[in-house]
Amino acid sequence: MVTVRTLAGAEFSPDLPGRLLKIAHDIRDAGGRAFLVGGWVRDALLGKACRDYDIEVYDMAQDALVPLLSKYGRTNLVGKAFGVIHLAMKGLSLDFSFPRTENKVGYGHRGFVVHTDEKLSFREAALRRDFTINAMGMELPELALCDPYGGMDDLKAHVLRHVSEAFAEDSLRILRGVQFASRFELILAPETAELCRSLSLEDLSKERIYEEFKKWLLKPGRPSLGLRAFLEMDLLRFFPEVKPLGGSFENLGQFLDNVSAKAVGESEDSRMTLAFSALLSGNSCGEDWTKFLEGMTSEVKILRNVPRLLKHAAAITPNASFPEDPFIRRLSVALDGLRECCVFMASNPQYPEDLRMIFVNRLKTRALELGVYEKAPEPLLTGRFLMSLGLKPGKQFGELIRESFELQLDGKLQDAEQAEAWARSKV
């Protein structure tokens, strides 16, 4: 069993498939060298399990590697220009690539010409990677570390540093820096922040931007450190709708961290709503919320749920008097339940934690008693009942349902029998 010594000095036994180790032996016997690269190496040094195996093969031609891999499963040459061979085996799939160089020839983060060269050194090939923490490799099968640009030292020092000036050729790396800072609790190196401030995001599609924001805000970590990187890169140039909360970006970062911690266990849709709402919480302008969100996604749930949470959560504060039942019911209708509202309020650092938790716990308890915590109340009076009274769908029909629902929210109609009796008195 192979082991890795983590940054903390502990022995860690990563999950490495036996078939991969056997393939690595075969590659070495054929005169080649196989390295695990990228995120797997970084995670192993942190003592974290990772099952994304990216293998770079050196000193071996593509034509020689394909038949070697074919003994283990079905191979697919993803693209000769990119030099990636996908190996599909029972219960396992692996990607093997060759060292390559990239030349920027066009607009956008895809505007590159790629040249594979199995004779490149690991140091030369790693020069094209984004950050030093991602420019490490471990040679198989022993997992000997190859770290030409000091990635392990940077990881140990919690520093996020670009590898070379080639970083500037791919603008997506700027946003990757934000999410890496959050996920691995890193601080930008001053020279990396300076380089990012000189670059633009204008060539990125909104879909790519949205995906990086999601990784920043939803993956476990400290989103406040992502916000710090965001500000040091001066990304407010492109996202001016992100404002300080109560005049403080420190407050905004704390809000992001609180939401990340308190939303654990919520659905992904809820976590997205909460995280993006927290990010925009320092901005009170509904038009800005919409502009920001529409600039990066077309997802209907986000475009609907974030503005409504920001709007309606602002109407209730822990330092105000506790709301009456009619208000609680109507708030649940506006937000389709109060679960997200309670998490959002419990995370807001503008109020002392003891004050907001007492308020939120009381609100949750009362909402559960009223049956409006998980979802909004439904009208007691139904169209089917009105039709049984001989009414046909139309103006009167709709007005009766709306009026009865308002009485229900006020607590004046408490069950279907009362609602139906009221309807009979109106017909």
Rounded alpha-carbon distances, angstroms, from residue 142 to 30, 59, 371, 422: 17, 18, 59, 79
What is the distance between the alpha carbons of residues 398 and 27, in angstroms, rounded to a whole number? Answer: 74
Residue where one domain finishes, among candidates 154, 180, 195: 154
Co-location of 40 and 128 in the same domain: yes
Co-location of 403 and 362 in the same domain: no
What is the distance between the alpha carbons of residues 391 and 213, in angstroms, rounded to a whole number? Answer: 51
Residue where one domain finishes, among candidates 96, 125, 154: 154
Q: What interhelical angle do 62-70 and 18-29 show, nearest 10?
A: 140
Query: Is the CB of residue 380 less than 8 Å from the CB of residue 408?
Result: yes
Query: Is the CB of residue 239 less than 8 Å from the CB of residue 212?
Result: no
What is the distance between the alpha carbons of residues 189 and 159, in angstroms, rounded to a whole number? Answer: 6
Co-location of 281 and 421 in the same domain: no
**pLDDT by residue (tens digit) across 305-347?**
999 999 999 889 998 899 999 999 999 999 999 999 999 999 9
**pLDDT by residue (tens digit) across 196-229?**
999 999 999 999 999 999 999 999 999 999 999 9
Locate 253 and state its tokens.
Answer: 């970062």
- The rounded mean pLDDT for the chain is 93
Q: Read off the pLDDT band of 105 (50, 70, 90).
A: very low
Q: What angle do CA 33, 36, 41 make, to 5 degrees?
A: 140
Q: Read off the pLDDT band of 391 (50, 70, 90).
A: confident
The CATH number of whichever domain residue 140 belongs to comes to 3.30.460.10
Query: Is the CB of residue 139 less than 8 Å from the CB of residue 147?
Result: no
**183 within domain boundaries:** no
Query: Is the CB of residue 275 less than 8 Å from the CB of residue 302?
Result: no
Residue 366: predicted pLDDT: 98
**pLDDT by residue (tens digit) across 37-84?**
989 999 999 999 888 899 999 999 989 999 999 999 999 987 655 678
Q: Read off the pLDDT band of 106 (50, 70, 90).
A: low
Q: For the chain, what is the domain count?
A: 3
Residue where one domain finishes, among candidates 114, 134, 154: 154
Locate 322 and state its tokens.
Answer: 């506790």
